[in-house]
């Protein structure tokens, strides 16, 4: 190991390309990134694709694209299936067989007699001294293995009598996760491993493999589970927890990232808003929380609103245009953005709130007031020939309301509904000025 690397914190994010990048995985990546970068260390991205049957096409590329979107830049990049060719995993497995810590097994991999059955932990091949087949770990009886979890801040132990003889190298020469993760964390000189809580049951297997291969162990920490507000663990089945889906719902990457920062970590003060670089500079493993955090959509909406309001109008407009795949022209969106910026919580809401600028709405006449025709024809009169600016419009409408003795609220609700089809909209007079005189007159006339 090089001296320079030895003194550095080196972390890795090791996703399997088996589906969408999940909010929990984003958190693992973020905390691993911050842990390394806080002290000028290295952040490694390693694609764990040795279970090729489970791989989903395009998933690897998506992971890279999303990490870039979130600004989590990696210093080194590896793909396990490419590393298989170098023989590193086979060599490690063979050395374990040689030392008597692993054995060949010729049972059909489909036969769930060991690992997955949860009952038969000892493989019948373990004492047969076979010379070919898959290679499995020969788990000792009644040995205590333990490690100090640096997230949970406690020692965790297992008795190996509850650990199954686990496949390390499949008969096709591909390692399983259990072997590849240990060999790679060692060869890549990873100093700190951070992973989700659901991986904890694998750790005793890894602890044995580290010991038997004579490798120094990295520090290991398991992040708490993110809970669904309805109860239980957050899961795909319960709604959109995929990062891509959330971005597509109109959450900004910087808001999502900020939300995720506080799902399992807390600063010493009560500060909530952090850019990625702020987060990196304050990040400290002492801030890991022991309680399972809850995925709170309202909180995410709050963060998103905060970040939307921090954007320049131009930036906000171009993000909206991008989200809606160029359905709207940037110059039009730019005009409308100042009216909605304070009101939207997601970029998607732009369409709900401002869609009427781009498409004539259907108006439900039953929502209009009893004297809507009078309101609208007065309005028509008032705005036909005024200079087209906000002050003149305000003045012309207010004068007419006074003159006719209308109720201001009722008048504007009819006007609002006629122009937008909705009760809740951006300020109506401002909207009318943007919409233009001709379009406004046409919308009003259509209801008379």
Cα 114 to Cα 165: distance, rounded to the nearest angstrom: 7
**CA–CA separation, 138 vs 176, rounded Å?**
15
Does 414 help bind ligand GLU (rule: CB under 6 A)?
Answer: no
Could you tell me the smallest distance in angstroms from the CB atom of residue 329 to ligand GLU? 42
Contact between 78 and ligand GLU per CB under 6 A = no
195 belongs to the binding site for ligand GLU (CB under 6 A): yes
**Is position 15 an interface residue for ligand GLU (rule: CB under 6 A)?**
yes
- Nearest alpha carbon to residue 411 among 437, 380, 448, 374: 374
- Helix, strand, coil shares of the chain, percent, nearest 5, are 50, 10, 40
Decide: is 16 part of the binding site for ligand GLU (CB under 6 A): yes
Task: Kindly give the residue spans of alpha helices, DSSP state H, lying in 188-265.
Answer: 203-213, 243-248, 253-261
- Contact between 145 and ligand GLU (CB under 6 A)? no
Q: Among 9-17, 230-238, 335-343, 358-366, which window interacts with ligand GLU (CB under 6 A)?
A: 9-17
Q: Which window, 8-16, 252-260, 331-339, 418-426, contacts ligand GLU (CB under 6 A)? A: 8-16
User: Of 199 and 302, which CB lies nearer to ligand GLU in the complex structure?
Assistant: 199
CB of 212: closest distance to ligand GLU in angstroms? 18
Residues 6+ apart with CB under 8 A from 224: 151, 197, 264, 289, 290, 291, 292, 293
Which lies closer to ligand GLU via its Cβ, residue 181 or residue 234?
Answer: 181
Stretch that binds ligand GLU, among 13-21, 34-42, 223-231, 342-350 (CB under 6 A): 13-21
Separation CA 383–CA 440 (nearest Å) = 9
* Least gap, CB of 197 to ligand GLU (angstroms): 11
Tokens of 298: 């309202």
CB-nearer residue toward ligand GLU: 49 or 123: 49
Cα pseudo-dihedral 330, 334, 339, 345, rounded to 10: 60
Binding string, 364-403, against ligand GLU, x = CB under 6 A?
Answer: ----------------------------------------
Q: Which of 236, 290, 404, 407 is catalytic?
A: 236
Closest CB 59 distance from ligand GLU, rounded Å: 11
Helices (H) and strands (E) in the chain, counts: 19, 10
Q: Point out which span in 14-22, 271-279, 298-306, 365-373 binds ligand GLU (CB under 6 A).
A: 14-22
- For position 176 contacting ligand GLU by CB under 6 A, the verdict is no
**How many residues of this chain interact with ligand GLU, rule: CB under 6 A?**
8
List, in sequence order, every residue forming a beta bridge with 219; answer none if it has no partner.
Answer: 192
CA atoms within 13 A on the CB side of 377: 5
Rg of the Cα atoms in the chain:
30
Active site residue 236: yes
Determine the interface stretch with ligand GLU among 11-19, 57-65, 323-331, 392-400 (rule: CB under 6 A): 11-19
Measured from the CB atom, the residue of 166 and 346 that comes closer to ligand GLU is 166
In angstroms, the CA 252 to CA 101 distance is 50
Helices 253-261 and 297-310: crossing angle in degrees, nearest 10, is 130
Q: Going residue by residue from 35 to 64, which x/- string records binding to ligand GLU, judged by CB under 6 A?
A: -------------x----------------
Distance from first CA to last CA of the chain, Å, rounded?
Answer: 82
Q: Which is nearer to ligand GLU, 53 or 268 (CB)?
A: 53
Stretch that binds ligand GLU, among 10-18, 281-289, 360-368, 428-436 (CB under 6 A): 10-18
Token duo for residue 367: 């929502």
Determine if residue 173 is left, alpha or beta; phi over 0 gives left, psi from -120 to 50 gives alpha, anything else beta.
Answer: left
Residue 84 binds to ligand GLU (criterion: CB under 6 A): no
Residues 372 and 416: beta-carbon distance below 8 Å: no
Report how far residue 115's alpha carbon sits from residue 287's, in angstroms, rounded to the nearest whole number.
36
Closer CB to ligand GLU, 84 or 336, in the complex? 84
CA angle (146 as vertex; 141, 149 as ends), nearest 5: 150
Please list the active-site residues: 236
Query: For binding to ligand GLU (CB under 6 A), which residues are involved?
Result: 14-16, 48, 177, 181, 195, 199
């Amino acid at each position: 190991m090089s001296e320079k690397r030895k003194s550095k914190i080196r972390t890795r994010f090791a996703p399997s390309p088996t589906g969408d990048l999940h909010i929990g995985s984003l958190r693992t990546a973020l905390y691993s990134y911050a842990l390394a970068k806080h002290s000028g260390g290295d952040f490694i991205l390693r694609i764990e694709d040795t279970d090729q049957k489970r791989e989903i096409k395009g998933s690897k590329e998506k992971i890279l694209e999303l990490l870039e979107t979130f600004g989590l830049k990696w210093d080194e990049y590896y793909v396990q299936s490419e590393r298989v060719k170098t023989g590193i995993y086979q060599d490690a497995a063979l050395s374990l067989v040689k030392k008597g810590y692993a054995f060949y097994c010729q049972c059909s991999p489909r036969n769930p007699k060991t690992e997955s059955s949860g009952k038969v932990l000892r493989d019948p091949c373990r004492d047969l001294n076979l010379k070919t087949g898959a290679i499995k770990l020969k788990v000792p009886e009644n040995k205590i293995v333990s490690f100090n979890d640096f997230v949970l801040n406690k020692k965790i132990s297992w008795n190996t009598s509850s650990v199954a003889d686990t496949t390390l190298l499949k008969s096709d020469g591909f390692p399983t996760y259990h072997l590849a993760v240990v060999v790679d964390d060692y060869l890549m000189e990873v100093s700190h491993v951070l992973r989700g809580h659901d991986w904890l049951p694998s750790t005793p297997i890894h602890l044995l493999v580290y010991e038997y291969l004579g490798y120094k162990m990295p520090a290991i920490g398991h992040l708490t589970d993110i809970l669904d507000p309805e109860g239980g663990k957050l899961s795909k089945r319960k709604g959109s927890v995929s990062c891509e889906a959330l971005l597509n719902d109109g959450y900004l990457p910087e808001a999502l990232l900020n939300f995720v920062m506080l799902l399992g970590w807390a600063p010493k003060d009560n500060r909530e808003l952090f850019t990625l670089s702020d987060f990196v500079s304050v990040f400290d493993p002492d801030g890991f929380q022991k309680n399972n955090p809850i995925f709170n959509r309202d909180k995410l909406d709050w963060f998103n609103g905060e970040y939307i309001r921090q954007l320049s109008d131009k930036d906000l407009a171009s993000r909206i245009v991008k989200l809606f795949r160029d359905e709207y022209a940037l110059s039009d969106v730019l005009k409308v953005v100042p009216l909605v910026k304070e009101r939207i919580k997601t970029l998607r809401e732009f369409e709900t709130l401002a869609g009427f600028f781009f498409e004539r709405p259907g108006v439900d006449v039953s929502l209009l007031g009893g004297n809507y025709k009078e309101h609208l024809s007065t309005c028509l009169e008032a705005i036909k020939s005024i200079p087209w600016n906000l002050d003149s419009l305000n003045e012309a409408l207010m004068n007419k309301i006074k003159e006719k003795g209308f109720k201001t609220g009722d008048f504007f609700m009819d006007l609002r509904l006629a122009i937008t089809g909705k009760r809740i909209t951006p300020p109506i007079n401002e909207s009318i000025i943007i919409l233009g005189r001709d379009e406004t007159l046409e919308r009003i006339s259509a209801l008379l």
